Amino acid sequence: MRVLITGGAGFIGANFTHQTVRERPDVRVTVLDALTYAGDVKSLVPVADHVTLVRGSIADEPLVDRLVGESDVVVHFAAESHNDNSLNDPSPFVQTNLVGTFTLLEAVRKHGVRFHHISTDEVYGDLELNDPAKFTPETPYNPSSPYSSTKAGSDLLVRAWVRSFGVQATISNCSNNYGPYQHVEKFIPRQITNLIDGVRPKLYGAGLNVRDWIHVEDHNTAVWAIIDKGRIGETYLIGADGEKNNLEVVQTLLEVFGRDADDFDHVADRPGHDMRYAIDASRLRDELGWEPRFTDFRSGLEATVDWYREHESWWRPRKAAVEAKYAKTGQ
Ligand code: NAD
Ligand code: DAU
């Protein structure tokens, strides 16, 4: 099987590429990645002998046409992925998340190639704290940010290409991932690397916002389950019942680092900050028999801390610029 992985030099895509090389020796992997600020060739070094890396954009029609024509399956991770960046400048989000996905859809339509679209729970907007409800595949779309609205738009393009053109596609909407190779702009790696540097973690607002954490390896085993066994045209929600508020996450990290529980700073809140995400993954569990393996958040977090301690050369070159950018918005 020839698999084209878009965004394979980013956080989740790189972990997916590693997992695929490790567990699927029959798969021939090509990665298409623009190597934006968020992509890093170093993330693919451990699998470099088994992967063809093509540097280019998913919005580059001739390039996409050629690569899709040489593939059996496209797994589409590439995106502008950070909410805070989308509030500063939405334009690359429209270009990559909408125009890029459109370009890929036209190519898979032309070549009759199977497509799996990676998306986010943020397309559903947010839930109230203490509401027993969780997101299901039937929850109406209600995105809040430029990031989540462009992801929502990309999902709708996929649905329309399935219905109107018979494209062989599936969609997954996953909750917040953590694990190795995540960019230091994101919440957990930002606080881990702050703590390594002896800097106090930064909590937006009161820190009561809830995210539904899943280890990136579990996200990726779910993606393979959907590619292997998912029904064409279906949407699968991926989550591992990992709801925690941001304060709890910071205090767990402080404990892991042997620091006091109040040794953090409250900083400016994110405009339009979604309060709570929570996933009901029953379709994935019941229909496809998927189960997460990393169910102990504390030990998953400890392993992630160890990874950042051992891979300083991977994250260090980006840290100062990320912090300088946050300083401009008081975060
Ligand atoms: P990331 O920002 O770490 O990586 C994105 C990758 O896409 C980078 O390698 C970047 O270079 C590449 N890219 C960006 N624009 C491109 C373009 N025009 N052409 C080709 N490559 C391009 O993102 P991530 O956190 O790994 O997220 C991957 C996917 O998973 C995204 O679609 C995101 O919406 C989705 N997702 C992420 C999470 C999460 O918690 N991080 C949760 C659910 C869904
Ligand atoms: O839910 C899935 C989404 O999860 C993905 O679609 C996105 O690509 C991914 O970035 C993530 O979005 P969030 O906005 O939830 O993740 P982020 O890591 O930016 O922030 C997580 C929470 O932590 C959020 O409530 C904001 C808060 N936060 C973030 C940073 C960077 C802080 O309190 N302090 C911080 O320094």
How many whole angstroms from 137 Cα to the centroid of ligand 1?
A: 22
State the pLDDT confidence band at 4, using cuts at 50, 70 and 90.
very high
Structure tokens at 112: 């009759």
Sign of the alpha-carbon torsion through 102, 24, 183, 66: negative
What does the alpha-carbon distance between residue 198 and residue 315 come to, in Å, rounded to a whole number? Answer: 16
The atom number, within ligand 2, closest to the CA of 119 reads: 6
| CATH, domain 2-178+213-238, list 3.30.70.120, 3.40.50.720, 3.90.1310.10, 1.20.1260.60 | 3.40.50.720
State the pLDDT confidence band at 201, using cuts at 50, 70 and 90.
very high
Arithmetic mean of pLDDT, 125-142: 96
Closest ligand to C-alpha of residue 42 is 1
**pLDDT at residue 89, as a whole number:** 97
Arithmetic mean of pLDDT, 31-52: 98
User: What mean pLDDT is reported for the chain?
Assistant: 98
Cα angle vertex 150, ends 173, 111, to 5°? 75
What does the alpha-carbon distance between residue 82 and residue 267 come to, in Å, rounded to a whole number? Answer: 18
Arithmetic mean of pLDDT, 9-36: 98
Neighbours of 45 (CB within 10 A): 11
**pLDDT at residue 100, as a whole number:** 99
Query: What is 4-70 written as a DSSP string?
Result: EEETTTSHHHHHHHHHHHHH-TT-EEEEEE---TT--GGGGGGGGGGEEEEE--TT-HHHHHHHHHT
Instruction: Determine whether the shortest distance from the Cβ of 59 to ligand 1 is under 6 A.
Output: yes
How many whole angstroms from 252 Cα to the centroid of ligand 1?
A: 27
Q: Is 0.90 surpassed by the pTM of this model?
A: yes
**pLDDT digit string, tens, across residues 202-238:** 999 999 999 999 999 999 999 999 999 999 999 999 9
Report whether 11 contacts 33 (CB < 8 A).
Answer: no
**pLDDT digit string, tens, across residues 291-314:** 999 999 999 999 999 999 999 999
Instruction: Determine whether the shortest distance from the Cβ of 276 to ligand 2 is under 6 A.
Output: no
Instruction: Determine whether the shortest distance from the Cβ of 219 to ligand 2 is under 6 A.
Output: no
**pLDDT digit string, tens, across residues 140-155:** 999 999 999 999 999 9
What does the alpha-carbon distance between residue 107 and residue 102 come to, in Å, rounded to a whole number? Answer: 9
Quick one: how many helices (H) and strands (E) in the chain? Answer: 12, 13
Arithmetic mean of pLDDT, 252-261: 98
Tell me which residue has its CA closest to atom 19 in ligand 1.
Answer: 57
**pLDDT at residue 147, as a whole number:** 98
Rama region for 179: left / alpha / beta (φ>0; ψ in -120 to 50; rest): left
**pLDDT digit string, tens, across residues 78-115:** 999 999 999 999 999 999 999 999 999 999 999 999 99
Arithmetic mean of pLDDT, 247-267: 98
Arithmetic mean of pLDDT, 27-32: 98
State the pLDDT confidence band at 168, using cuts at 50, 70 and 90.
very high
**pLDDT at residue 327, as a whole number:** 96
Residue type, 205: G
Arithmetic mean of pLDDT, 42-68: 98
How many whole angstroms from 1 Cα to the centroid of ligand 2?
A: 34
Report whether 77 contacts 181 (CB < 8 A).
Answer: no
The yes-or-no verdict on residue 130 having pLDDT over 90 is no
Report the share of the chain in percent with pLDDT over 90: 100
Residue 303 CA: distances (Å) to CA of 136, 142, 179, 180, 306: 30, 35, 8, 9, 5
Residues assigned a catalytic role: 121-122, 147
Tell me which residue has its CA closest to atom 29 in ligand 1.
Answer: 77
**pLDDT digit string, tens, across residues 17-29:** 999 999 999 999 9
**pLDDT digit string, tens, across residues 94-103:** 999 999 999 9
Report whether 29 contacts 174 (CB < 8 A).
Answer: no
Instruction: Determine whether the shortest distance from the Cβ of 158 to ligand 1 is under 6 A.
Output: no
Instruction: Determine whether the shortest distance from the Cβ of 173 to ligand 1 is under 6 A.
Output: no
Mutational test site, ligand 1, from 58, 60, 77, max ligand atoms within 8 Å of CB: 77
What does the alpha-carbon distance between residue 327 and residue 314 come to, in Å, rounded to a whole number? Answer: 22
Tell me which residue has its CA closest to atom 8 in ligand 2.
Answer: 81
Among 35, 172, 51, 56, CA closest to 107: 56
Give the contacts of 83 (CB within 8 A, at least 6 positions apart): 122, 145, 147, 148, 270
Q: Tell me what percent of the chain is helix, strand and coil, each rounded to the nearest 5.
A: 45, 15, 35
Instruction: Determine whether the shortest distance from the Cβ of 186 to ligand 2 is under 6 A.
Output: yes
State the pLDDT confidence band at 286, using cuts at 50, 70 and 90.
very high
Among 116, 115, 216, 133, CA closest to 175: 216
**pLDDT at residue 46, as a whole number:** 97
Cα angle vertex 110, ends 107, 115, to 5°? 55
Residue 217 CA: distances (Å) to CA of 125, 292, 293, 304: 25, 9, 8, 12
**pLDDT at residue 224, as a whole number:** 98
User: Radius of gyration of the chain from Cα atoms?
Assistant: 19
State the pLDDT confidence band at 125, using cuts at 50, 70 and 90.
very high
The yes-or-no verdict on residue 329 having pLDDT over 90 is yes
Report the share of the chain in percent with pLDDT over 70: 100
State the pLDDT confidence band at 41, using cuts at 50, 70 and 90.
very high
What does the alpha-carbon distance between residue 14 and residue 26 come to, in Å, rounded to a whole number? Answer: 18
Closest ligand to C-alpha of residue 238 is 1
